[in-house]
């Protein structure tokens, strides 16, 4: 090996030793003297990874079982087999849910098959059917749809729902969507009138929370959840106000039919919208399902709203069938707990707060108002 090569090797070895010594000295420093994380590392934190833990030392209440037996007026056929159905019933027993309403969207053979499954527990499940929109652009649509509705009621349907319209038209009911036809369309009138004659309610989802209509940017307060369900980029849809308008038109035209507006009529950002509807139309109720995260940030406002409209609000979940889910809803409704999270259920960044509802109001929301809608049997 020549002298130049030897010199290079010696210098490289010296660099390695020096580097190791530098690292050792670095780690021997007190923590407060260590280099701070680079700003770039913090800026790389993604919105979807924001998962805060509350640091507040405040009371925490674990509600294992609801204060009163519950009728859940908004759920779906989550159980896929007999074992899951049995487990669901067991969970209902554990948490204090007396009955669960299964909104099937279904008609025809699918409704019949679902009814057969859930009829294994006739005292625990209430099934709603859908509307059959097949041929909704044909002259004989209403007569055929009414006939199918009457058939489903004879099988065992206790209501209709969940109908759904996010601006393009009614599309939840299976198997045919009815794009371009909204709940206040004249073609729907015979079906709505028939529900009144049969004494069965219509559960309907109109619009989406307001954040889904806003621009998806740094000013959108609900961006974390809004982006998934965004409507701001959907062309040719009715906006939030117009969607609520279709509901009001139908409720006004059909005073003999009971309506249940799902999810506070998606007006949790301004409960006055729903309150004004309640003031005008005694045939309108609203379920509180799947909007706990949207309302828990404003507990005092919500508490006043429940006090004012305690006869018109009904309990619902729409979030599966596990016991943790139920217990989080009880904590929000029954306690005054502050600043807690339920990341496993909700994707908003907001902290949750309990409404602290009075026992007499809880009893109505949990059960009595549902009995007024469904009948006491």
| Nearest of 193, 186, 102, 179 to residue 146 by alpha carbon | 193
Query: What does the pLDDT read at residue 11?
Result: 47
Query: What does the pLDDT read at residue 50?
Result: 82
Query: What does the pLDDT read at residue 32?
Result: 52
Rounded to an integer, what distance in angstroms lies between the CA atom of residue 321 and that of residue 98? 13
Query: What does the pLDDT read at residue 38?
Result: 55
Query: What does the pLDDT read at residue 22?
Result: 40
Rounded to an integer, what distance in angstroms lies between the CA atom of residue 55 and that of residue 339? 9
Rounded to an integer, what distance in angstroms lies between the CA atom of residue 316 and that of residue 334? 15
Give the fold, CATH level 3, of 61-374. Answer: TIM Barrel (3.20.20)
Rounded to an integer, what distance in angstroms lies between the CA atom of residue 111 and that of residue 119? 12
Rounded to an integer, what distance in angstroms lies between the CA atom of residue 286 and that of residue 306? 11
| Nearest of 205, 67, 204, 200 to residue 126 by alpha carbon | 200
Residues with Cβ < 8 Å from 75, sequence gap 6 or more?
A: 100, 101, 102, 103, 316, 317, 318, 321
Query: Do strands 125-129 and 259-261 pair parallel, antiparallel, or not at all (unpaired)?
Result: unpaired
Q: CA quadruple 184, 185, 190, 195: dihedral positive or negative? A: negative
Q: What is the pLDDT along the chain (377 residues), one digit of tens a residue?
A: 455 444 445 444 444 444 444 443 334 445 554 555 555 577 788 877 888 899 999 989 999 999 999 999 999 999 999 999 999 999 999 999 999 999 999 999 999 999 999 999 999 999 999 999 999 999 999 999 999 999 999 999 999 999 999 999 999 987 889 999 999 999 999 999 999 999 999 999 999 999 999 999 999 999 989 999 999 999 999 999 999 999 999 999 999 999 999 999 999 999 999 999 999 999 999 999 999 999 999 999 999 999 999 999 999 999 999 999 999 999 999 999 999 999 999 989 899 999 999 999 999 999 999 999 998 65
Partners of 284 in beta bridges: 259
* Phi, psi of 360, deg, nearest 5: -65, -35
**End-to-end CA separation in angstroms for the chain:** 101
Query: What does the pLDDT read at residue 12?
Result: 45
**Domain chopping of the chain, boundaries:** 3-48, 61-374
What letter does residue 184 receive in the DSSP assignment?
A: T
Partners of 192 in beta bridges: none
Q: CA quadruple 367, 371, 376, 377: dihedral positive or negative? A: negative
Rounded to an integer, what distance in angstroms lies between the CA atom of residue 144 and that of residue 131? 10
Query: What does the pLDDT read at residue 373?
Result: 98
Q: How many CA atoms lie within 13 A of 75 on its CB side?
A: 26
What letter does residue 364 receive in the DSSP assignment?
A: I
Query: What does the pLDDT read at residue 246?
Result: 98
Rounded to an integer, what distance in angstroms lies between the CA atom of residue 286 and that of residue 266? 10
């Amino acid at each position: 090996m020549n002298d130049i090569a030897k010199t290079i090797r010696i210098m490289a070895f010296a660099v390695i030793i020096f580097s190791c010594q530098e690292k050792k000295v670095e780690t021997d420093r007190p923590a407060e003297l260590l280099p701070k994380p680079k700003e770039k590392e913090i800026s790389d934190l993604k919105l979807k990874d924001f998962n805060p833990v509350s640091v507040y030392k405040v009371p925490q209440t674990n509600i294992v079982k609801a204060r009163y037996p519950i009728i859940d007026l908004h759920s779906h056929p989550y159980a896929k087999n007999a074992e899951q159905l049995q487990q669901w019933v067991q969970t209902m027993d554990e948490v204090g849910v007396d009955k669960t309403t299964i909104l099937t969207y279904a008609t025809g053979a699918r409704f019949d098959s679902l009814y057969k499954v859930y009829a294994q527990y006739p005292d625990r499940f209430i099934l709603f059917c859908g509307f059959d929109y097949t041929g909704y652009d044909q002259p004989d649509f209403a007569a055929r749809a009414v006939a199918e509705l009457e058939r489903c009621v004879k099988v065992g349907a206790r209501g209709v729902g969940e109908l759904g319209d996010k601006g393009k038209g009614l599309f939840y009911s299976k198997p045919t969507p009815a794009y371009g036809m909204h709940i206040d369309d004249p073609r729907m009138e015979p079906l709505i009138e028939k529900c009144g004659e049969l004494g069965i309610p219509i559960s309907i989802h109109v619009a989406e929370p307001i954040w889904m209509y806003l621009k998806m940017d740094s000013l959108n307060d609900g961006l974390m959840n809004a982006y998934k369900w965004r409507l701001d980029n959907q062309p040719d849809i009715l906006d939030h106000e117009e969607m609520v308008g279709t509901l009001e038109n139908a409720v006004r035209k059909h005073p003999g039919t009971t309506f249940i507006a799902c999810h506070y009529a998606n007006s949790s950002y301004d409960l006055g919208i729903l309150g004004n509807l309640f003031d005008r139309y005694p045939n309108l109720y609203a379920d509180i399902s799947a909007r706990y995260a949207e309302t828990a940030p404003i507990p005092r406002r919500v508490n006043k709203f429940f006090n004012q409209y305690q006869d018109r609000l009904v309990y619902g979940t729409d979030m599966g069938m596990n016991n943790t889910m139920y217990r989080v809803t009880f904590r929000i409704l029954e306690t005054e707990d502050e600043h807690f999270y339920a990341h496993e259920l909700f994707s908003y960044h907001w902290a949750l707060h309990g409404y602290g509802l009075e026992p007499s109001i809880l009893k109505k929301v949990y059960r009595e108002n549902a009995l007024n809608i469904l009948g006491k049997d």
